[in-house]
Every structure is written in C-alpha cells, then in structure tokens.
Amino acid sequence: MTERQREDAVLAELESLRKRLHQIVDQRTDQLFLIILLGDRMASLPEGEVLCPFARDPAAFKGMRPTAIILPDGAQAAASTWREAATVILRHCAGDPLRREKLMALRDNVSGNFRCLISASPDGMRLPLEISRELYVEGKFDTEALLRNLTEKLLIPAGYNYRRILLQCRAPQQELCETADVTSVPEETPDRGPAMML
C-alpha cells in the first residue's frame, strides 16, 4: 500500500467517524429533548415508530413519514404527510391572535425558492396549503425545504415556540438499524480516548 493509499484510507475512516459521532450527538440530544418535554409521560410507540423533536435539523427527517404531532400545549393531531404536519402546526400557530397577526403581515412578503411562500390567496401557488381564511402557504417542496421554510421563514418570525413540538414518525428500516447501532457505543478507557484502527 502506498503512502497516498494509506492517507486515503485514514481520511475515509475519519469521515466515517465524523458521521458516527454526529449520529450519537443527534440521538443523545433528541433523548434530552424528549426527557425535558415529556418527563415521566413517555409512552410506548407502535413498532417501527419513533418520537422526534421537531427542532432537529430538517435534513434528519428525510425518508421518514409523520404519523402524529404533539403540539406545544400537549394536544395531539394525526398527520400522515409532511404537508399535513405543516398545516397542523401553522393552524396551531395561527390560533393565537398575536401569532396570526404576524403571519398575516408576512403574506406576499416572504418567498420560497421561486414563488411566494405565504399569501392571502392560493393564486400562483403550485400546491397551496390552506391555513385559514385568507392565509395560504406554498406546500410544493421536498421534506427538508418544507420544514426549513416552515421554521425559519414562518414560525420564527411569528414568534411561535416550535421547539416544544414533537413528531411521531415511521422511520425507514435502514434508519432503525443505524439507530440501534448508535446505542451500543463502546466505553472509552479513562486514560485514553476511543481506539481507532488505521
């Protein structure tokens, strides 16, 4: 093996380590969110479903499908698609008069990638989500873009505390296997960090 090949192998191992460490950090952070938000009210979930904080990176939801939403006030609503989930969350946000006023002020002033993101009319939208009378949101995005637009361009400007939302999701089998592997992390030795083979 040449020096260049050894370096390439080390770089590949480092990138793999980075991915595993991110998975561990994400999983432990999600667990802390759940403990804080649910405490001793944690309930068992149907086989193949997981409970996730909505505040996680939207990219983490790719490949997952929502089944239910637990809103900040503890109310639970069914949602089988990400568009339904976004609609439920935005309707809850608009249910507060102050937040509704802020959402109404955003109409025709906030854009998605190519079109107006929030408007008083569904005209010009490819897949309008009706939140309430004279309040429509564009829903024609992939999962990550939809959730990122929802949080960054609508919920945060409206002052809505989305960090208290939990999502019950059906995780793909691959995701379940990766999560299972992450929970069995070997312990570090006290005098050294984790061993790494090169």
Whole-number pLDDT of residue 22: 83
Q: 157 with 49: CB under 8 angstroms?
A: no
Encode pLDDT of 23-78 as tens digits: 888 878 877 777 777 776 666 667 888 888 999 999 989 899 999 999 999 899 99
Global pTM reads 0.73
Whether the per-residue pLDDT at 151 is higher than 50: the answer is yes
Q: What does pLDDT average to over the chain?
A: 84
The DSSP symbol for 188 reads: P
For tokens 């109404």, name the residue.
Answer: 104
Whole-number pLDDT of residue 89: 98
Percent of the chain whose predicted confidence (pLDDT) is above 70: 84
β 118-119/128-132 pair status: unpaired
Query: Could you give the strand order of the β-sheet that contains 49-53, starting from the edge strand earlier in sequence?
Result: 49-53, 166-170, 65-70, 76-78
